[in-house]
Amino acid sequence: MKNTALTDVHIREGAKMVPFAGYNMPVQYAGINAEHETVRKAVGVFDVSHMGEFILKGDKALDLIQQVTSNDASKLYDGKVQYSCLPNENGGIVDDLLVYRIDEKTYMLVVNASNIEKDWNWISKFNIYGVDMKDISDRTSLLAIQGPKATEALQSLTDIDLGSMEYYTFKKGKFAGVENVLVSATGYTGAGGFEIYFDNEHAEEIWNAVFKAGEPYGIKPIGLGARDTLRLEMGFCLYGNDIDDTTSPLEAGLGWITKFSKPFTNSEALQQQKQQGINKKLVGFEMTERGIPRHDYEIVDAEGNSIGRVTSGTQSPSLQKAIGLGYIDQSLAKEGSEVYIKIRDNKVKAKVVKLPFIK
């Protein structure tokens, strides 16, 4: 099992550590609900250094990215980030990812930890363009500093004007005395904030500086447990749960990152699927009777007929009610539709709601 550059710090902080995507990761410190509330109301720090980072460089870097990703990366400009996915050849998704345009010939792709090797091999397979590819995952640390007080908590550490940074942009500069730190504003919590990319050797130095600067704002370390409840309240997909090699981006509600203005892997088949219509759709639902939906629970109709499966579910700390995501028959995917979740052989009532759960 791999460690991040901050594993020893998490253990010293009393984190409960668990194996996740081949890494030894903190799942919680003070407790998921308390940490969730810290991010929604103040500011929290996630060590997400397990994520993968690839640098693609060369005259044809954009051509390669355009071929393997579903979104239109030609729309990017220096300092802009784009959410996208890697479609496979069978209508499913290899991974979802972020594309950072450093300059006209240089891009950074940020991929999920569990898919680093898989994604690298997939992209390499299409690299007929002579693009220089570097996997910098093992030497790169990444902190996600999230919450409404993130800007105030971090501004004293950098000359970058954090308050003026637009959503899905990034800047490079000096941060906590360290040169060449990449600061982005993408977020996976819906609470605002920043992601800080830097070399492993600076990990403890930057961690300590962030906590010192953030102390007046109630900053706390946050584990992956609260990261999951926060992203689920926003209706954000988690690879391996809500999207995978068998789910189409159109079924997953990711038509907005599937651009048919250019050819890409399996684009013709996906375009045909769009024209013919999908049979199942990823929807959000909230429980109207007592019960917590869990991954892979069956979704049924009033007569008990199977209509789908739960992909993610939890008791929402913000809403104080159980919520979930799941694929169901398109005919029942309309907002307000009544469905039932099979929990220990009981049909427990739920209704389809519009995403995100937290407005």
201 annotated as belonging to a binding site for a ligand = no
Domains of the chain: 6-50+138-233 (3.30.1360.120), 279-358 (2.40.30.110)
Contacts of 17 (CB under 8 A, 6+ apart): 7, 10, 11, 24, 25, 26, 27
For residue 359, is pLDDT > 90? Answer: no
Mean pLDDT score of the chain, rounded to an integer? Answer: 97
Where are any strands of DSSP class E within the chain? 16-20, 23-28, 44-47, 52-57, 81-87, 93-103, 106-111, 132-135, 140-146, 170-175, 178-184, 193-199, 220-221, 280-287, 298-300, 306-316, 321-329, 338-343, 346-353
**Confidence at 237, pLDDT banded by 50, 70, 90:** very high
> Coil, strand, or helix at residue 108?
strand
For residue 181, is pLDDT > 90? Answer: yes
Q: How far is residue 111's CA from residue 192's CA, in Å, rounded to a whole number?
A: 20
Q: pTM value?
A: 0.97
Q: Which helix (H) or strand (E) covers residue 238, if one does?
A: none
Give the pLDDT mean for 158-175: 98
Per-residue pLDDT, 59: 98
**Confidence at 271, pLDDT banded by 50, 70, 90:** very high
> pLDDT tens-digit profile of 260-269?
999 999 999 9
Residue percentage of the chain with pLDDT more than 90: 99
Q: How far is residue 23's CA from residue 199's CA, in Å, rounded to a whole number?
A: 18
For residue 69, is pLDDT > 90? Answer: yes
130 CB burial (10 A radius; 0-12, 13-18, 19+):
exposed
